[in-house]
Structure 1
């Protein structure tokens, strides 16, 4: 009986923990790009890099932004030691250049991305966009998930890190 009462109390209390989140989503309140990436769990390397480059406040800003977000697996494809080297304070400028090469000003949905050949990045260079059988590539990266909504833009998940020229 005691176990059953404890289980019911635990269930009741845990259900209250979800009420604020459900209410926030119900009213259309979404998290910004950084919060969405942090909560997802697949972008730890990206979030670490954004913090090292000092871009957190920018990507938490009003936007809107379109971010081609490489997963942790995408960062793992880089030559060994590359990310560690980029995270060093003396390489902040290079890291910032790489990260801003993944960002396009404005909110560009998947439907809009599929209609363009190039997109100008915040870094200043353009990325090449190709579509084949409904699958989108940005430079050498496949878009593996599109239109992840955030309060200040949209995230398109990619499977490679984009490197500017």
Structure 2
């Protein structure tokens, strides 16, 4: 008679040696890299040298234009963002889309309007547009007149899709 169960139990135990049960923390940079429609901005974060800073403790809120938004930029602006010599300009462009406080879109409930400073120093004016019949948490939010969508949570903040650019 052959006993397969003990060998199976031993193999199963051996396969679990060294496996951690905790998942790796997902920073705003990690989560940004996973978004299929934010690849250009993720590349700019890398090129600007800001990936390490934005992987820090934060908290950060990133207001990220989608890849399709970049297609609407002028040729001159697109050229500036891809030129190797323009790292400082790319850094400023990225930082103009980042605030130092983690804000979910729910944060604006109870406010019709508030202003935050980006890490580049420009002001971002957030306005809650309430549709008729919406309660305090209803309606849409804009940043400098640009629609803001969604709360994508990371361990050190939030990512929000925006329909344009906050750069000066």
TM-score w.r.t. the length of structure 1 is: 0.76
1:48 to 43, 48, 53: 43
Runs of 4+ aligned structure 1 residues displaced above 6 Å come to: none
The equivalent residue for 1:59 is 54
The number of equivalent residue pairs is 139
Q: Counterparts of 1:125 and 1:163 in 2: how far apart (Å)? A: 8
State the TM-score, normalizing by the size of structure 2: 0.75
Q: Is 1:118 the equivalent of 2:131?
A: no
Structure 1 CA distance for aligned equivalents of residues 150 and 156 of structure 2: 15
Mapped partners of 2:22, 2:66: distance in 1: 27
Q: 1:24/1:78 Cα in 2 relative to 1: closer, same or farther (>3 Å)? A: farther
Q: Which runs of 5+ in 2 are unaligned?
A: 1-18, 131-138
Is the 8 Å Cα contact of residues 140 and 162 (structure 1) preserved in structure 2? no
Which structure has the larger Rg over C-alpha atoms?
A: 2
RMSD: 1.9
Deviation at 1:80, TM superposition (A): 2.8
Deviation of 1:30 (Å): 4.4
Indicate the residue corresponding to 1:35 in structure 2. Answer: 30
